[in-house]
Amino acid sequence: MNSPVASLRLQDAWRECERNAYHLQRALGQLRHLLPLTGLQFQTLTDAQIQTLDQFILRFTKLQDSMGSHLFPSILEYLQEPFEERPMLDKLNRLEKLGYIENAETWGNVRNIRNKFAHDYPDDPEKNAALVNIATEAAQTMVGALAAIEKRLRQDHPGLTLVGSVS
């Protein structure tokens, strides 16, 4: 039987991811008309477009962080999998084996994209534009992973309450 504490942790992690995914998708929707972004477009973004891009980057980073730091560990805890002290790669491989994520390697790629946002390339608008373009695809990967996790949790654990829906 799943512990009430594990259930609450999973629900909290889910709400956090859901909130970040919602704002990420809103920002992405406002950027769609600019995509794929070129270096020239990147250099000439309006203040409002820069704010939207900043919101996208912030929510991309927060969603990746909340999934990796909170959601994935809380799923394993809820499933009573003894992985709390294991490295992240072991956790990802276990989640893949259990069918909660499609591919552990894909998650590593998303993490690398998130890390690249920590670097600023003020003199290379082409590199910045390319990173945004790659991140928009990775954002869809994260949202898709959340939808798949939701489906799996609802299917395998119908008594678990997840507020809202990512899809």
Tally of domains within the chain: 1
Q: Are 77 and 84 in contact (CB under 8 A)?
A: yes
Which residue range(s) make up the domain with 101?
4-156
163, part of any domain:
no
Which residue, among 41, 68, 65, 64, has the nearest Cα to 53 in the 3D structure?
Answer: 41
Q: Are 134 and 113 in contact (CB under 8 A)?
A: yes
9, part of any domain:
yes
The pTM for the full model equals: 0.90
Task: Give per-residue pLDDT as tens, 130-140.
Answer: 999 999 999 99
Q: Residue 152's pLDDT is what?
A: 93
Q: Residue 165's pLDDT is what?
A: 58
Give the domain CATH number at 63: 1.20.120
Structure tokens at 3: 């512990």
Q: Is the predicted pLDDT of residue 1 greater than 70, yes or no?
A: no
42, part of any domain:
yes
Task: Give per-residue pLDDT as tens, 139-156.
Answer: 999 999 999 999 999 999
161, part of any domain:
no
Burial of 93 (0-12, 13-18, 19+ CB in 10 A): middle
25, part of any domain:
yes
Can you tell me which residue has the tokens 């962080």?
Answer: 65
Work out the angle at residue 86's Cα, subtended by the Cα atoms of residues 80 and 90, and round it to the nearest 5 degrees.
90
167, part of any domain:
no
DSSP letter, residue 45:
-
Q: What is the mean pLDDT of residues 101-109?
A: 91
Q: Are 154 and 162 in contact (CB under 8 A)?
A: yes
Q: Residue 85's pLDDT is what?
A: 80
Residues 6+ apart with CB under 8 A from 156: none
More confident residue, 46 or 167: 46
Q: What does the mean pLDDT of the chain come to?
A: 91
Task: Give per-residue pLDDT as tens, 29-84.
Answer: 999 999 999 999 999 999 999 999 999 999 999 999 999 999 999 999 999 998 87
Confidence of residue 119 (pLDDT cuts 50, 70, 90): confident
165, part of any domain:
no
62, part of any domain:
yes
Work out the number of other CB atoms within 10 angstroms of the CB of residue 90: 13
Work out the angle at residue 30's Cα, subtended by the Cα atoms of residues 25 and 35, and round it to the nearest 5 degrees.
95
Q: Residue 3's pLDDT is what?
A: 82
